[in-house]
Amino acid sequence: MSSSQLRDAALAFAGRLPDSGPVAVLATPRIETVVAVVGCLLAGVPAVPVPPDAGPAEVRHVLDDSAATAWVGERPDGVDLATLPVDLAARAGAATYAVEPSDPALVLYTSGTTGAPKGVTLSHRAIAAGLDALVDAWGWTPDDTLVHGLPLFHTHGLVLGVLGPLRVGGRVQHTGRPTPERYAATEGTMFFGVPTVWSRIAADHDAARALASARLLVSGSAPLPVPVFEAVERLAGRAPVERYGMTETMITLSARADGERRAGWVGSPVLGAQTRLRAEDGGPVPDDGETIGRLEVRGPMLFDGYLGQPTATAESWTDDGWFVTGDLAARDDGGFHRIVGRESVDLIKSGGYRIGAGEIETSLLARPEVAEVAVVGVPDDDLGQRIVAWVVPSGAATPALGRALVDHVARDLAWHKRPREVRFTQALPRNAMGKVQKGRLEA
């Protein structure tokens, strides 16, 4: 669709909205999804993207929690809301709507890895500020064509991957699924992917080389393993751009298109964003690139709150106005950040040491015998927590390999950071975004 066709169809959809919403949109990778979301934004009606693979319980939770008044897309059993059609050929004339920057634009639901998904309310102002910061960081222009095959129910695929090109006036091509073959067959100047996508592309040398003409390869939503970073750089001829953000914050850290790209690091604050690292006692940590602290952020791209949960919202902010991300990070004296993991599951306290699971995972992923890995701390009467590495091997799983991996970490990092145990598994439990659900490893 051209910009004018999209605007006409979206305005026509906006004119058929029965009330002030919110409107639940089944976020299938179809142009109808884009028209419906843009129509809601133009009308000032909050859109609530629903994952296409969501089960009945999750759908019911999202609809009840958001108080959605209408549904867009194929209606599953158990949904009794009125269904709104999307007419791609419709024309709406010169209709306009009064929308305030502070009005809610999207209600995006968290992945729910630590309980029921929470509705994150993003305003028009926050989305605009977040996208404009990326325009600055990535040199994004109307001449760019963005290619990706990411889901359209979260920040990465929908806000960055669809609203971003619309904001700047460029093009977006969605590949349906983010396979190496489809990425290689689609021409573009920018490509978005999660680490799983880049890992598969790195393993397909022809696909990786086909991306050599793109100016920007962006990875996010989870840490990019250093070996994958290096393989993409070697095959595609350019290092990936890593960035960091959350549903609640959009993107607050990123490497710049015109700056340094460092494997394992997610760059510096984007335009308007600020960060600080805090120790357990609330004090600052040194900017030495090694000392781990709790990452807190602030800026105009942050969310307004968790829908209907004022207590959870208040608990996520400090008294002096910083959002507590729940992530652990280190920062060097140049402002570059390295994400170590989640404070709740990735901070391991073993033998009096505070250890980040992420750096152990990065070390293990450098070994060719390791396809995937997740490191956790399990209760230990002697150490407090014992470091355990769950490994998906690329070949045979043997006791000798387990011992070799322990020795590797002891040499590569430090003796006290070595796993006390290596457990082999065929797969790691992941959510729809590809993030490992460490709480499910024992099960």
> Where in the chain are all domains bearing CATH 3.30.300.30?
351-440
User: Quick one: CA dihedral 38, 39, 45, 46, positive or negative?
Assistant: negative
Cβ proximity of 303 and 121 under 8 Å: yes
List C-alpha distances in Å: 71 to 75, 89, 105, 172, 429.
Answer: 7, 20, 16, 25, 31
Q: For the chain, percent helix, then strand, then coil, each to nearest 5? A: 30, 25, 40
Please give the angle made by the CA atoms of 91, 92 and 96, to the nearest 5 degrees. 150
Joined tokens for residue 96: 């306009």
What pLDDT, on a 0 to 100 scale, did the predictor assign at position 36? 98
> Where in the chain are all domains bearing CATH 3.40.50.12780?
145-342
AA identity, residue 8: D
- pTM of the full structure: 0.84
What pLDDT, on a 0 to 100 scale, did the predictor assign at position 114? 52
- Close Cβ partners of 4 (under 8 Å, ≥ 6 residues apart): none
- Distance (Å, whole) CA 56 – CA 76: 8
AA identity, residue 395: G
Q: How do residues 238-286 score in pLDDT, each as one tens digit?
A: 999 999 999 999 999 999 999 999 998 999 999 999 999 999 888 999 9
Cβ proximity of 117 and 111 under 8 Å: yes
> Where in the chain are all domains bearing CATH 3.40.50.980?
3-99
- Distance (Å, whole) CA 169 – CA 223: 29
- Distance (Å, whole) CA 162 – CA 171: 9
List C-alpha distances in Å: 315 to 123, 194, 253, 311.
Answer: 20, 29, 23, 6
How big is the chain by its Cα radius of gyration, in Å?
22
CATH number of 3-99: 3.40.50.980
- Distance (Å, whole) CA 251 – CA 241: 13
- Close Cβ partners of 97 (under 8 Å, ≥ 6 residues apart): 14, 42, 43, 44
Helix (H) or strand (E) holding 119: strand 119-123
Alpha helices in 120-168 (DSSP H): 124-138, 164-168
Q: How many CB atoms lie within 10 A of CB 182?
A: 16
What pLDDT, on a 0 to 100 scale, did the predictor assign at position 2? 95
CATH number of 351-440: 3.30.300.30
Q: Which of 131, 139, 201 is nearest to 166 (CA)?
A: 131
Helix (H) or strand (E) holding 279: none
Domain 145-342 is classified in which CATH homologous superfamily? ANL, N-terminal domain (3.40.50.12780)
Cβ proximity of 140 and 167 under 8 Å: no
Q: What is the strand order of the sheet 370-380 is part of?
A: 370-380, 384-393, 421-424
Q: Which of 159, 166, 124 is nearest to 142 (CA)?
A: 166
Q: How do residues 304-313 score in pLDDT, each as one tens digit?
A: 999 999 999 9
What pLDDT, on a 0 to 100 scale, did the predictor assign at position 280? 85
- Low-confidence stretches of the chain (pLDDT beneath 50): none
